[in-house]
Chain A
Amino acid sequence: MTTVVNDLDAAVEGAAAHLYVWALKDIPRDLRDALADACGRETSVTGQRVLKTILRNVDVAEQERNLVCQDTGIAVYYCRVGEHFPLHPARIYGALKAGTERATVEHPLRSNTVHTLTRENTGPNVGFRVPIVHWDFVPDSDGLDVKCVPKGSGSENMSFLKMCVPADGVTGIKKFVLESVVGAGGKPCPPGIVGVGIGGSADYAMHLAKEAIARPVGTRNADPLVAELEGELYELLNETGIGPMGLGGDVTVLSVHVEHADTHMTLNPVAVNYQCWAARRASAHVSATGSVTYERDA
């Protein structure tokens, strides 16, 4: 679907509003395939029961045009801004916020955002520094790629950071991911995507873990060493027997995605950010002239 709006603010706002609701209702093909594969190889009775119910739920959401999960989450957007895109990021942020608010009011969607100290609701899924936006800037481009990932609290609560020391090595990283996923048990709605961020600094490792969960299911890191770690962690995590919804079984995770940054010689940070089985995401490309193209598989 392509729409053309002359006002770029309005184009970005419209894209944000559409992406938020679309992501909540219609989960991507790669995720549907991964869930169907999981159902095919799960051998435990409880695991089969859970996965069949998940697949039935995805179909019911489509038939009833309802949300896949009631947790409309916290709206997270990933923006890749071309250096020649005519709208400044300050204005892009305003448009994303307006779009989130509009989608919440018009649908209507449950408003989850509260003040951290008073716990009072701050409005239609917007508040101080909410929605959350990840920024990336792209040379030689005049477009904007925007991806919406509504992040549920059940999985976000299962986020973990450890400042391993260099002597812990890669083994320390693997152990921390394993103990995090086992400790989380059924709480983050497994089987989902385990996002792992390594290197950088404490805050940047978690940022990278969040970037990792936004990738399509089963994509591999371009760095062969990191890709190998993804494959090994996937196999090991599925040996733990946590299973669908933590009730025991063969399929504990659908995929492991690792993102990395180089780090200080005395640092070895590892962050885990879990994404539930309903790994919702939806993307669009906004051109410099305000034409919006929605992309299912990005």
Chain B
Amino acid sequence: MATHEVTFPVNDPAEILKLRAGDEVVVQGHVIGIRDRTQIRIFDQGVEPPLDLTGAFLLHTAPNVRKIGPGRYEKLCIGTTTSARMVRFTEGLGAQYGVRAICGKGGFPDEAIEPMQRLGMVYFAIVGGAAALETTQIEEIEEVAWEELMPECLWKFRVKDFGPLTVGIDAHGGSLYRDVQERALKKLEDIYARL
């Protein structure tokens, strides 16, 4: 398993193709915070997102913040939520907006594997609950759009040494979550035979 450093947004698809399920990744550059209501607005209500998502790294988050001025916020505690609820937006994010990476916790179900391979996207697993550490890796909240959805707005964060992340699903059809589930279900058959 290799270790990589990737700066987002990415311009070159090769940056994504070099990543394999299980690899360790540290991220630099910009991260876009997004959540359930943000994506419901984009896809179910058909509202164009006011931030450019081309080559972007999306983070499943609803941060704790303090307002310090019009449209300006400082971080208090920023962590990551369960991704599985938002898997149905994967295809649209890649095909319509050119998103390259989605990061969250707990993984995406298998339905994400095919679109991620076809569209050259990856899913990064962060350590859920490790928000105190994650907050120190976010240098600044640069932009906020759709403040009326607080805290499920569209956030733009500048990050430094964001991670360590694990490639959960790669752009080659590999998924740690599928592999772990398949092995666990086999193991359960052994266990049930012993009960």
Residues of A at the B interface (CB closer than 8 Å) are 45-46, 49-50, 53-54, 56-58, 60-61, 64, 66-72, 108-110, 152-154, 157, 171, 174-175, 178-179, 182, 185-189, 236, 239-243, 245-248, 276-278
**Is B177's CB under 8 angstroms from A186's CB?**
yes
**Is B166's CB under 8 angstroms from A46's CB?**
yes
In the docked arrangement, what's the CA distance between A219 and B179, Å?
33
Chain A CB within 8 A of B173 CB: no
A-B contact pairs, 9 of them (CB 8 A): A49-B24, A57-B130, A66-B76, A154-B128, A175-B192, A186-B125, A187-B105, A241-B183, A247-B180
**Is B191's CB under 8 angstroms from A154's CB?**
no
Question: Closest approach, in angstroms, between the C-beta of A68 and any C-beta of chain B?
Answer: 6
**Is A109's CB under 8 angstroms from B184's CB?**
no
Apart from A70-B135, A110-B62, A247-B125, what 9 extra A-B contacts exist at CB < 8 Å?
Answer: A53-B164, A60-B133, A67-B131, A68-B129, A70-B79, A178-B192, A182-B181, A187-B82, A247-B166
Question: Closest approach, in angstroms, between the C-beta of A176 and any C-beta of chain B?
Answer: 12
Q: Which of A69, A152, A243 has the most CB of B within 10 A?
A: A69
In the docked arrangement, what's the CA distance between A53 and B80, Å?
14
Measured CB to CB, the nearest residue on chain A to B165 is: A49
Mark each residue of chain B from 52 to 87: 1 if its CB lies under 8 Å from any CB of chain A, else 0.
000000000111101000000000111111101000
Chain B hits for A242, CB < 8 A: 180, 184
Provide the main secondary structure of the chain B interface: mixed
Chain B hits for A236, CB < 8 A: 191
Measured CB to CB, the nearest residue on chain A to B137 is: A60
CB-based A-B contact count at 8 angstroms: 157
Chain A hits for B79, CB < 8 A: 69-71
Chain A CB within 8 A of B94 CB: no
In the docked arrangement, what's the CA distance between A69 and B135, Å?
10
Chain B hits for A239, CB < 8 A: 187, 191
**Is A70's CB under 8 angstroms from B179's CB?**
no
Question: Closest approach, in angstroms, between the C-beta of B71 and any C-beta of chain A?
Answer: 19
Q: Which of B132, B133, B176, B188 has the most CB of A within 10 A?
A: B132
**Is A174's CB under 8 angstroms from B106's CB?**
no
**Is B106's CB under 8 angstroms from A245's CB?**
yes
Chain A CB within 8 A of B195 CB: yes
In the docked arrangement, what's the CA distance between A46 and B2, Å?
12
Cβ-defined partner of A57 (8 Å) among B64, B81, B133: B133
**Is B188's CB under 8 angstroms from A276's CB?**
no
Chain B hits for A46, CB < 8 A: 1, 22, 166, 176
Chain A hits for B192, CB < 8 A: 175, 178
Cβ-defined partner of A246 (8 Å) among B135, B177, B187: B177
**Chain B residues within 8 Å of chain A by Cβ, number:** 47
Measured CB to CB, the nearest residue on chain B to A58 is: B132
Knowing A60-B132, A64-B135, A185-B106 touch, does A50 contact B127 (C-beta < 8 A)? yes
In the docked arrangement, what's the CA distance between A216 and B151, Å?
33
Cβ-defined partner of A157 (8 Å) among B82, B107, B131: B82
Question: Closest approach, in angstroms, between the C-beta of A276 and any C-beta of chain B?
Answer: 6
In the docked arrangement, what's the CA distance between A277 and B106, Å?
13
**Is B105's CB under 8 angstroms from A45's CB?**
no
Q: Which of B128, B184, B191 has the most CB of A within 10 A?
A: B128
Mark each residue of chain B from 168 to 195: 1 if its CB lies under 8 Å from any CB of chain A, else 0.
1000000011011101110110011001
Chain A CB within 8 A of B7 CB: no
Measured CB to CB, the nearest residue on chain B to A25 is: B132
Chain A CB within 8 A of B136 CB: yes
Chain B hits for A248, CB < 8 A: 176, 179-180, 183
Measured CB to CB, the nearest residue on chain B to A242 is: B184
Chain A hits for B66, CB < 8 A: 108
Question: Closest approach, in angstroms, between the C-beta of B174 and any C-beta of chain A?
Answer: 13
Cβ-defined partner of B127 (8 Å) among A72, A175, A187, A245: A245
Measured CB to CB, the nearest residue on chain B to A72 is: B64
**What 3 A-B pairs are tightest by C-beta distance, nearest first?**
A70-B79, A61-B132, A57-B130
In the docked arrangement, what's the CA distance between A174 and B188, Å?
11
Knowing A68-B131, A276-B128 touch, does A154 contact B105 (C-beta < 8 A)? yes
Chain B hits for A53, CB < 8 A: 127, 130, 133, 164
Question: Closest approach, in angstroms, between the C-beta of A177 and any C-beta of chain B?
Answer: 11
Question: Closest approach, in angstroms, between the C-beta of B141 and any C-beta of chain A?
Answer: 14
**Is A54's CB under 8 angstroms from B107's CB?**
no
Measured CB to CB, the nearest residue on chain B to A277 is: B129
**Is A189's CB under 8 angstroms from B179's CB?**
no
**Is A189's CB under 8 angstroms from B106's CB?**
yes
**Is B132's CB under 8 angstroms from A240's CB?**
no
